[in-house]
C-alpha cells in the first residue's frame, strides 16, 4: 500500500492562504494602533487644555503668558509651569501627539493654541485653543501657522 502525502502544489496553496490571512491581521492591527494613538493624542490635548483652564481659575489676574513666565512663546507644553493653587503640577507628564512627539503650544499675552500631529495622517494636526474648546483637525497650512504664532 502506498502512503498518502501532500503534493508540492497543495503545500504552496496552504502557505499562500496562511500568508494572505496573516497580512489581513497585520493590516487590521496597524489600523487599530493608529486609532489608539489618535485617541491618546486628542486626550492629551484635552487634558492640557483642562490644566490650563484650571491654572487660569487659580490665577485669574494673570494672562496665560504671565502664568507661563513670558508674554509670548512657542514650545513643548511647559509642564513644570502649569500649577494649581497649592503649587502642585496639573500635568504629571509631557503630553504626546499621535506620533509620540511632545504636544506644542504657542501663546501670546492673552491667547493660546495647543497642537499635535495626527497619527492617521501625518500631514494634518489636531489643535485646541482658548477660543474654541473643541478639538479640531486641520490641514498642514494651519498647523504651520499655529507653530508660527497664530
Length of the chain: 150
Please identify which residue in the block is written with the cell numbers 486609532: 35
pTM of the predicted protein model = 0.68
Is 94 domain-assigned? yes
Q: Is residue 5 part of a domain?
A: no
| CA dist list (Å): 10 to 7, 15, 17, 149 | 5, 9, 11, 63
* Count of C-beta atoms within a 10 Å radius of residue 54: 15
Show pLDDT as tens, one digit a residue, over the chain (150 residues).
577 888 999 999 999 999 999 999 998 888 888 888 888 888 888 888 888 888 888 888 877 777 777 777 777 777 887 888 888 888 888 888 888 888 888 877 677 888 887 777 777 777 787 765 667 766 555 565 554 444
Assess if residue 144 is contained within a domain: yes
**Coil, strand or helix: which one is 125?**
strand
Please report the pLDDT score of residue 4 as a whole number. 81
**Which residue segment(s) compose the domain that 133 sits in?**
11-148
Q: How many CB atoms lie within 10 A of CB 112?
A: 23
In a domain, 1, yes or no: no
Number of domains forming the structure of the chain = 1
20 in any annotated domain: yes
Q: Note whether residue 128 is domain-resident.
A: yes
Pairing of strands 112-117, 136-138: unpaired
Amino acid at each position: 500500500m502506498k502512503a498518502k502525502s501532500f503534493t508540492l502544489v497543495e503545500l504552496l496553496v496552504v502557505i499562500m492562504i496562511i500568508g494572505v490571512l496573516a497580512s489581513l491581521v497585520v493590516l487590521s492591527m496597524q489600523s487599530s494602533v493608529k486609532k489608539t494613538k489618535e485617541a491618546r493624542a486628542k486626550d492629551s490635548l484635552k487634558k492640557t487644555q483642562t490644566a490650563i483652564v484650571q491654572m487660569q481659575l487659580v490665577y485669574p489676574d494673570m494672562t496665560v503668558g504671565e502664568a507661563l513666565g513670558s508674554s509670548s512663546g512657542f514650545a513643548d507644553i511647559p509642564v513644570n509651569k502649569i500649577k494649581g493653587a497649592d503649587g502642585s503640577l496639573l500635568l504629571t507628564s509631557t503630553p504626546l501627539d499621535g506620533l509620540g512627539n511632545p504636544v506644542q503650544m504657542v501663546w501670546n499675552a492673552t491667547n493660546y493654541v495647543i497642537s499635535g500631529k495626527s497619527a492617521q495622517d501625518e500631514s494634518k494636526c489636531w489643535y485646541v485653543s482658548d477660543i474654541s474648546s473643541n478639538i479640531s483637525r486641520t490641514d498642514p497650512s494651519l498647523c504651520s501657522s499655529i507653530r508660527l504664532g497664530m
